[in-house]
Homo-oligomer: A and B are copies of this chain.
Amino acid sequence: MARSVKLYDTTLRDGTQGEGVAFSMEDKVRIAQRLDTLGIHYIEGGWPGSNPKDLRFFRRIQDVPLKHARIAAFGATRRPGVSAEGDANLQALVEARTPVATIFGKSWDFHVTHALGTTLEENLAMIRDSVGFLRARFEEVIYDAEHFFDGFKADRDYALETLRAAEAAGAHCLVLCDTNGGALPHEIGAIVREVRRHVRTPLGIHVHNDTECAVANSLAAVLEGAGHVQGTINGFGERCGNANLCSIIPNLVLKLGIEAIPEPNLRELREVSRFVSELANRKPWSQQPYVGDSAFAHKAGMHVSAVLKHPETYEHIDPERVGNHRRVLVSELAGRSNILWKAAEYGLDLAKDTPETRRILEQLKELEDQGFLFEGAEASFELLMEKALGRYRPAFDLEALRVVVERRQGDHEPFSEATVRLKVKGVPEHTAAEGNGPVNALDHALRKALEEFYPSLREMTLVDYKVRILEETAGTAAKTRVLITSGDGEESWGTVGVSHNIIEASWQALVDSIEYKLKRDERRGLK
């Protein structure tokens, strides 16, 4: 039988210590459900003693049916000099009414005397009392040995004594924490091996990424016998983040053959990663191992041709096993085979080494010099190919556009209006529309002018609008790149615009988006 490891997710608690990470109570509930479906064993929901919002979460989650995961509430050992029963923090834990309680205690003598300001002996009593108190009130008690590795290096015997205190009081799992994230894998491995000689309680591992070794540190502990791994989705967490479960899980399951979540569930991994980024309102990390947009993206011409023949030549796993997919990037480094691949995807038949291929490559270089990037804007790239092939026919001719934003004293919100004058199929159209910003107004005016002629545009919505400032150091005169993602329920596509003027850049991307939709409908004979 394969070895197994329990996964303990702390995205909702330690993850929210990350810069720019915050979840509403409802977000936390949705994330917990998603983690449950993925097959995570424990979900740490928050610290009821430190944050009233967390207490509301624990109330709310009691009504949510979970298939698999157990909810844990987090807290600290009692304060020095009070009884466990009289400690408000421990009482708040009990009020959370979860099956699992996780508390941290100090392992590092320096922290006990200098941060906590108490004696080494009292700290041991605090651990014993608190674990004992919780043991009587929860199904399961997990003990987080904060700063364990630093503590072990500073005073090995005392650090081990703190573990034995938690063990004696009945903790179900002793989690060794590298709280400052400064340890390296060979140290983690050696210390876990040593600890196993001194305690019988199952060990866990909780590390941070300050040396960029959090994933390797977690694996080093597992290889030395730790059976419980703590981390967060996408590695969210304070400073450089916690250990990233999105990498640890596939490393355990696919590389080490250790049971963690059922292998088929791995296919949800990318989706879970995006979902959590979305709710945290954080841009996904594109290079993220396994689940990132770039994780299976190929740019070098030579690699591309090899990957087309045999994916295993440049891919360590089949991307679909983690719900990801292969991508071929269009860029100046691209050999012709990338262009061909993209062209083929869109039904354009470009033979190698023709004048058309060269023309497309030249235009690509010129536009990239201006700041265009077609990664993520495949629809604009397709229009570029059409233009280079002399096949492009515009859906309308612009005669003039104007955008006005106005605000007067006392106005709560500024007023935005756009007017557009254009010719569609020879017919002049002159429209005006409002919006809750200049680009939104422009979008409305343009649609107003076109929908009569192209009714299928009504199905189309703009699902994503991104702005990136190029040459950021040029202040408000900087160049702007706008990326728009549009969809019509069947498909979604990306377009790009670049200009010093954000209105102009948005206009370019808007027009490309509409042209692409019309061209695709035409190709399908929908007109």
A287 at the interface (CB under 8 A from B): yes
> Are B400 and A182 closer than 8 Å at their CB atoms?
no
Residue numbers in B under 8 Å from A404 (CB-CB): 402-404
**Complex CA distance for A166 and B138, rounded to whole angstroms:** 63
Write out, one digit per residue, whether chain A residues 415-447 have a CB within 8 A of any chain B CB (1) or not (0): 010000000000000000001111110110000
A66 at the interface (CB under 8 A from B): no
Residue numbers in B under 8 Å from A215 (CB-CB): 211-213, 216
Residue numbers in B under 8 Å from A198 (CB-CB): none
- Copies of this chain present: 2
Contact residues, A293-313 vs B (CB, 8 A)? 293-303, 306, 309-310, 312-313
A194 at the interface (CB under 8 A from B): no
Residue numbers in B under 8 Å from A469 (CB-CB): 465-467
A22-B368, A241-B287, A470-B281 known; A402+B399 contact, CB < 8 A: no
A477 at the interface (CB under 8 A from B): yes
A362 at the interface (CB under 8 A from B): no
Q: Among B51, B185, B436, which residue has its beta carbon within 8 angstroms of that of A333?
A: B51
Report which A residues bind B (CB closer than 8 A): 16-20, 22, 50-51, 110-111, 114-115, 179-182, 184-186, 209-213, 215-217, 219-220, 223, 235, 238-241, 244, 247, 251, 255-256, 278, 281, 285-290, 292-303, 306, 309-310, 312-317, 329, 331-333, 368, 373, 375, 397-409, 413-414, 416, 435-440, 442-443, 461-478, 480, 484, 499-504, 506-507, 510
Contact sample, A vs B, 6 pairs, CB 8 Å cutoff: A18-B299, A19-B329, A22-B332, A180-B315, A440-B477, A464-B473
**Beyond A401-B414, A439-B476, 12 extra complex contacts between A and B, CB < 8 Å:** A50-B301, A186-B223, A212-B244, A212-B289, A278-B473, A285-B285, A403-B438, A416-B503, A436-B500, A467-B468, A476-B510, A502-B502
